[in-house]
C-alpha cells in the first residue's frame, strides 16, 4: 500500500470536510486515529480484532500513515481552506495577535 503525501492530503481533506467529523478539525490525535482506522480497514483487517502487537507491527513496517504527514496535511489544508478550520485555529490566531500587540509588533 503506497502512502504518498498527496493521497494523505486528499484523505485528510475528506475527513475534515465531513460534517459528522468536524471534531477532527481541532484534535490531531483523533484525526490520526481515524486515518489509521481507515488504513487498517483498507488492508482488509478488522480493526476491532487487531492486537496491539499487530498494530505496532503495521506501524513499524510503514503500513500506517505517518503521524507527521497527517499533522502537516491538516495544517496546510486549514491554512488554505477557511471552511476546514476548527475553533482552536481562531483561538491560536487571536492569541498570536495579542502577543504581537503586547510586544509592539503590528500585523
Q: How do residues 51-72 score in pLDDT, each as one tens digit?
A: 999 999 999 999 999 999 999 9
Whole-number pLDDT of residue 3: 57
Assign 3-state DSSP to the chain and report helix, strand, coil percentages, each to 5. 75, 0, 25
**In the chain, what percentage of residues exceed pLDDT 90?**
74
> What is the C-alpha separation between 104 and 107, in angstroms, rounded?
10
Q: Residue 106: its pLDDT value, please?
A: 65
Residues in the chain: 107
- Mean pLDDT score of the chain: 91
Report yes or no: 30 and 74 within 8 Å, Cβ to Cβ: no
Between CA 107 and CA 97 the distance in angstroms is 7
Mean pLDDT for the stretch of residues 94-101: 83
Give the dihedral sign, CA 64/2/44/61.
Answer: negative
**Which has more pLDDT, 42 or 94?**
42
Q: How many C-beta neighbours within 10 Å does residue 12 have?
A: 27
* Residue 1: pLDDT band with limits 50, 70, 90: very low
Amino acid at each position: 500500500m503506497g502512502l504518498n503525501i498527496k493521497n494523505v492530503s486528499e484523505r485528510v481533506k475528506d475527513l475534515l470536510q465531513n460534517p459528522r467529523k468536524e471534531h477532527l478539525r481541532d484534535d490531531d490525535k483523533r484525526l490520526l486515529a481515524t486515518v489509521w482506522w481507515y488504513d487498517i480497514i483498507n488492508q482488509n483487517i478488522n480493526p476491532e480484532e487487531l492486537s496491539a502487537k499487530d498494530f505496532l507491527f503495521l506501524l513499524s513496517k510503514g503500513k500506517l500513515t505517518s503521524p507527521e504527514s497527517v499533522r502537516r496535511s491538516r495544517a496546510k489544508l486549514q491554512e488554505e481552506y477557511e471552511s476546514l478550520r476548527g475553533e482552536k485555529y481562531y483561538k491560536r490566531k487571536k492569541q498570536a495577535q495579542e502577543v504581537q500587540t503586547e510586544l509592539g509588533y503590528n500585523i
